Structure formats: C-alpha cells, structure tokens
Amino acid sequence: MARLRAINDNILCINGDFGDQTTESGLIIKSTLGKSEGITPRWFEVLEVGPKIDWINPGQWVYVEYGRWTEGFKTNDDRLEPDQKVWKVEPKACLIVSDEEPDGTLNITDSTVSAMKKTRD
C-alpha cells in the first residue's frame, strides 16, 4: 500500500478550493484563476503533517496565503482518489485552521488577513 508521508515541518494538503465562491448575501463570484482579482488566499484540506508540526492535524482545513503552495501534483496514495492532486503548503502562510470544511462563503476581508498576519508574525 502506497502512502505519502510528510517530513520535518511539511504540510501536505488536498481539495484545494480554486472554484466559484458565494458571498454571505448569496452572490456567486466566478473563479478568477489567472486574473489579478484571483490573487486571494485559498482553503485546503490537510492530508498529512510532518513531525515538527503540532498545531494542525490531518482532516482539518487550512486557509493559506495566496501563492504559498506548490504546484499540485498527482501521486499514488491509497487515501486519494484517482487523479486527485496534492499540494505542499508553507506553514508560515497558514492563516486560519478549521475543524470543518468551509462552506465557500466569503467572509474574510483583506484587512482581516493583514491583521492575522501581524498577529502570526
């Protein structure tokens, strides 16, 4: 049985949220990948964490600062669906951790992200 393992302070994620999003008022915002307005943080589901990471666990969701993840790659792992991608995200770029899958509602503003980064750093 093949199984991907994270080492050191690596965080490996799946189910990156790169699709359409809905505002709290119900407006649907189409995916903006490849456009300047698409430069926003994204949610990922944690698949595996290295032994130096003690603040997040597999199965949780993490909101990651824009562009602080690798290109998605496919690998053989018994926990993954065929053709499912895996991303490595940068630990310092993790802004929020959630125990539940985010509902796709946009409720985080740029000022909120800036405040979280100041607190984290």
Backbone angles phi, psi at 74, to 5 degrees: -105, 145
Whole-angstrom Cα distance, residue 33 to residue 48? Answer: 26
pLDDT of residue 4: 92
Is 8 a residue whose pLDDT tops 70? yes
List the domain range (segments joined by +) for residue 83: 11-120
Q: Does residue 1 belong to any structural domain of this protein? A: no
Q: Does residue 74 belong to any structural domain of this protein? A: yes
Q: How many domains is the chain built from?
A: 1
- Please state, for a pLDDT cut of 90, what percent of the chain lies above it: 54
Q: How confident is the model at residue 1 (pLDDT cuts 50, 70, 90)?
A: low
Summarize pLDDT for 65-84 with one digit per residue, the tens. 988 999 999 999 999 998 89
pLDDT of residue 113: 56
Q: Does residue 112 belong to any structural domain of this protein? A: yes
Strands 105-106 and 21-23 come out as parallel
Q: Model pTM?
A: 0.74
pLDDT of residue 47: 98
